[in-house]
Chains A and B, each alone.
Chain A
Amino acid sequence: MPASPTGSRTSASSPPLYRTLANSLVASLLGLSAAPACADETVYLGELPVVLSASRLAQPLREAPGAVTVLDRDMIRASGARNLPDLLRWVPGFQVAAKQGHTPLTTYHGLSDDAPRRMLVRIDGRSAYSPYFVSGIEWHKITVDLDDIERIEVFRGTNAATYGSQAFMGVVNIVTRAAADTPRVRARVTQGGNGIRDRSASIGQQVGAAALRLTVGSEEDDGLANVHDSYRRRRADLRVDWQLASEHRLEAHAGAVRLDAGTGIADDPTNPPRELRSDSRFGQLRWRWQPGPDEELSLTYFHHAERLSDRFTLASVRDYLAAGLVRDRNLPPALADFLAAGFLVGIGIPAGDGSVHFDYANRIHRDDIEFEHTLAARRDLRVVWGAGYRQDRLHAPQLFARDDELYYNSRRLFGNFEWRATERWLFNGGIMAEDGNYSDILVAPRLAANYHLTPLHTIRASVSRANRRPTAFERHSDMRFREAVSGVLLQQSFQPSPAVRPERITASELGYLGEIAALDLSVDLRVFRERISRLARIEGQPSPLDPALDPDARQFFSDGRATLRGSELAVMWRPQRANWVGVNYTRLAVDADSGAPGDDRRDVEKIIELSVPRVSASVFAAWAPSRDWSLSVTRHYVGRTGWGTKNEAIAAPAYYRTDWRVARRFAAGPARAELALAVANGGDRHAEFDSRRPTPRQAYASLSVEF
């Protein structure tokens, strides 16, 4: 072929050998046009990979079957947040708190104890819900870096019809940037008060038809005041996008995270201050095939593995019992000690004292495979259907009183359609059917109608029903504590709950979404009713094992009911990408009926009522006075919120919180740099989880560089 002068630039600049090889190999094997070598008409006639496939495109909010809040990159950056959960403060109806510095809690419309489990988080389609033990979302196990996030789409309201039973009250979809859309090198250093020391580094590289991004990072701080919860988290996250051919793409994700953290409470020998270590890692492969512009098939497999080590010993049961007698019964120490020793001899511990080993270690494996088919069957009809299978293997002897693995399997089959009946009417319907080895078939249907008053003003109505599968802990928890030498059972803190049933939600909503383009204004109003039945509660019941110290063992019951009514308003004025003022306002009312017998009834209802903040509101604004400067400030108000407590004095009182950030961008040689100062929680001192655990004020500076 004659040398083409127009194509000479790239080939003359001698790319590295591996690159040339990879380019030519891929191009020749897979028939992609090897454009750099020959220009002329091939650039007009050659094929290109499908980049913005249906799955990559965000659904326009006005066509969504529910209320969706989108947090884009500018907003994520302006928030100054150091972690993902803090971003949800900008979403109407969400509550964010931290039980410990490394244990953030997030819930939608309250109803949560200190282990929220009624919402789902997905990262690039991978469920981050941990149905193993107590909590649903363990945020610290997520490996993604905030700078690698493309956008976060938060679906407010149940979305089990699309994502399964774990999306019981809401879904947070985190979409990371494609590997190709990554700077070659990026580094960030954050340093601040309260022991803040965060580091992050990332590289992006194109190797032939494959784009790769690797991000490593670490975060550490001293957590909350008055709690032993300093932590250090180290993580790595890899994404590879490989365009196999113009219609075939392979996406690989892998990640690992290690948490070394303090936990425990100073004056509780059964939960003493100590260090724990949690390791978590995953690998995911997704193959996408786009046979035509209106059709896409994908097959996704991921494996996730976790390991926790957390052990300690109660050295003297006698001292523990004696201290309790002194505290609760005001006995003289010597008498208390005598009684404790006597009691222990009486229950079969001859030495009159003994120890208890606590070992909360666990190992978890999850395998998940899913097939999905998106098809524009007609111009006015789009269908997504698919099926999946998941297996969780849990090994946690202390939690389940068994040495073998507990298998938790589930299968799912789902279908959703989007029908543009006319220019104005759009109907969304969907259904998800799930079953598993511990539950019957659960069916979650939804129907939504969107009516476009004009292209920019939409009214929406939707009804849906969903069921939340109990977690392994809710069903199988069996925690027994024995004296180490004699084996005498001292306490069973949880006993299995074979009768626990899936919680059920029936939700209906009316929504309005308007964009007043002339004023750069958007308005999102949602009015809803969410009726939840079979709401789980915990109650002590006589233990069949007759433990020596406490005859009762806690059990889960599915007899509560709660009805939430309320409205959410989000108004955003955004004349430019980097300049905006947003206002969120949420009102919630709850009507609780616990189903518990006797005096407990009112207590459980109180827990439910306290868990729902009546009013919350946010104002957030960002302003870029020039290309180089940006300022942002957020002011939140959150009504009183309890996280699983019936005690008004312990619930976090209503609070105001102010976060702000100032950043300046500048060029440093070939690199672009940004220096930012941020203050999280700059307002009054307050608590967000428990009135005894104030949220610290944190000021930090961060420098990021990319080129």
Chain B
Amino acid sequence: MTLGLRAALCLLWLLLAPASAGAEGVPADARVLLVTSAQSGAYAETVAAIRAALGPAVVAADILAVDWQALPDETLHAPRIIVTVGTQAAQAVAERSPRPPVLHTLVPHQTWERLAPQGANGRASAIFLDQPVERQLALIAEALPEWRRLALIASPRSEPLAAQLAAGAQLRRWTVTLESVTSDRDLYPALQRVLAAPAVLLALPDSTVFNSYTIQNVLLTAYRHQSPVIGFSPAYVRAGALLALYSTPSQIGAQAAAAVRTVLEGGALPAPAWPRQFEIGINQNVARSLGITLDPAEQIAARLARRERGP
């Protein structure tokens, strides 16, 4: 194809795109509207998981997925339920205060609190992306039963979370060292202090402290102090954390689909909830090098699930 022809086609596509989107567009009778922050990666995975879990009871034509940027006002009032995937989508939908119930997914707990400062009102709910404090602490207890020291580094933003973790750890009679930093420049000395004795360093989902630039510093320093790091995403395990606790987009999608089904069947929107299903990632190379023997991830996950179900 010549360059000129390609340019002409592009131009044509640009001219026709809005019209064709409208044309194939929003069937007024779509019962489930999925609004996504982006159309790739984890967002697409979540959408696919919701579709898969809803079918065949809910036919594909009844499910419409749109990008948050292509969100006409009128589409928001027709469906029986709106599911947002990601923070940008959640924000865009929340700002329009739609009539149907809204379920936010792939959003951290903190984002939900911002979107619904008064809490759930029956019209909106969420499935969080992050893991409950109790589950995180239980992971340490189950996977690393001999470790009794917990190290935390928080910025003012994540201090409430760090405080909850610290309180839970103290109930278990662990020693907790908590350092507050205001920028990543304070990170190095803070790491030296919390890891003065080997401890489990629990990474917090706080990009001031833990981001792709500081991760080197964090993992190398912890490794040098013979201290395992626990992360909150598979990327952490790849990068060199010993363990990570996370829910995959598919797991969250399946949980969202269950909520959608309830609403479609006439039930009420479930209350905001932590992800029910989760995974544990293990970096065996790091475990071996640190001389830590771990049970298989599935076994640890099963024990955590048993704990949560209660006796």
Q: Interface on A for B, CB 8 Å cutoff?
A: 1-2, 4-7, 9-10, 13, 23, 32-36, 38-54, 56-60, 63, 72-73, 150-151, 177-178, 180-184, 204, 206, 208-209, 211, 241, 243, 246, 293, 455, 576-577, 627, 672, 707
Contacts and interface: CB of A to CB of B under 8 A. Distances in A.
Interface in B225-245: 225-226, 232-233, 235-236, 238-240
B189 A672 contact: yes
Interface stretch (B59-67, B204-212, B297-305): B204-212
Interface stretch (B21-29, B48-56, B75-83, B285-293): B285-293
Most buried by B among A35, A41, A455, A672: A41
A58 B107 CA distance: 38
B177 interface: no
B216 A60 contact: no
B293 A455 contact: yes
A576 B289 contact: no
Interface in B185-213: 185, 188-189, 192, 196-198, 205-208, 210-213
Contacts of B88: 1-2
A53 B86 CA distance: 31
Given A46-B235, A60-B288, A181 B224 contact: yes
A456 B42 CA distance: 42
B156 A9 contact: yes
Interface stretch (B1-9, B108-116, B168-176): B108-116
Contact of B196 (A52, A58, A63, A627): A627
A10 B197 contact: no
27 contacts: A5-B114, A6-B157, A9-B183, A10-B184, A13-B183, A35-B207, A42-B207, A43-B207, A44-B205, A45-B233, A47-B235, A49-B239, A50-B239, A51-B215, A52-B240, A52-B283, A52-B286, A53-B240, A54-B285, A177-B224, A178-B216, A181-B217, A183-B188, A209-B212, A246-B212, A293-B285, A672-B192
B205 A51 contact: no
Contacts of A34: 212
Interface in B111-141: 111, 114, 129-130
Contacts of A44: 108, 129-130, 205, 232-233, 246
Contacts of B212: 32-35, 46-49, 209, 243, 246
Contacts, number: 170
Given A40-B111, A51-B215, A181-B224, A707 B210 contact: no
Nearest to A62: B291
B219 interface: yes
Given A9-B155, A44-B205, A50-B239, 17 more contacts: A7-B207, A13-B182, A36-B207, A43-B233, A44-B233, A50-B238, A52-B220, A52-B239, A56-B220, A57-B286, A72-B224, A180-B217, A180-B220, A181-B188, A183-B188, A211-B217, A241-B216
Most buried by B among A36, A72, A243: A36
Contacts of A32: 212
Contacts of A46: 212, 233, 235
A178 B213 CA distance: 13
A4 B221 CA distance: 30
A41 B108 contact: yes
Given A43-B211, A576-B197, A57 B285 contact: yes
A295 B108 CA distance: 33
Contacts of A53: 240
B274 interface: no
Given A5-B114, A57-B286, A60-B288, A40 B182 contact: no
B266 interface: no
B42 A45 contact: yes
A102 B288 CA distance: 40
Nearest to A207: B213
A40 B87 contact: yes
B183 A10 contact: yes
Contact of B197 (A45, A58, A60, A577): A577
Interface in B27-47: 37, 41-42
B284 to A, nearest CB: 9
A52 B217 contact: no
A707 B208 contact: no
A225 B311 CA distance: 77
B180 interface: no
B220 A41 contact: no
Given A2-B91, A44-B130, A577-B198, A181 B216 contact: yes
B106 interface: yes
Nearest to B95: A2
B147 interface: no
B295 to A, nearest CB: 14
B278 interface: no
A43 B210 contact: yes
Most buried by B among A9, A47, A181: A181
A576 B235 CA distance: 32
A178 B197 contact: no
Contacts of B197: 576-577
Contact of A52 (B42, B86, B206, B223): B223
Contacts of A63: 288
A39 B239 contact: no
A94 B281 CA distance: 42
Most buried by A among B182, B184, B219: B219
Contacts of A49: 212, 215-216, 239
B213 A52 contact: no
A672 B189 CA distance: 9
Contact of B213 (A6, A42, A206): A206
A612 B293 CA distance: 42
Nearest to A26: B213
Contacts of B108: 40-41, 44
B106 A48 contact: no
B240 A51 contact: yes
A36 B224 CA distance: 26
Contacts of A209: 212-213
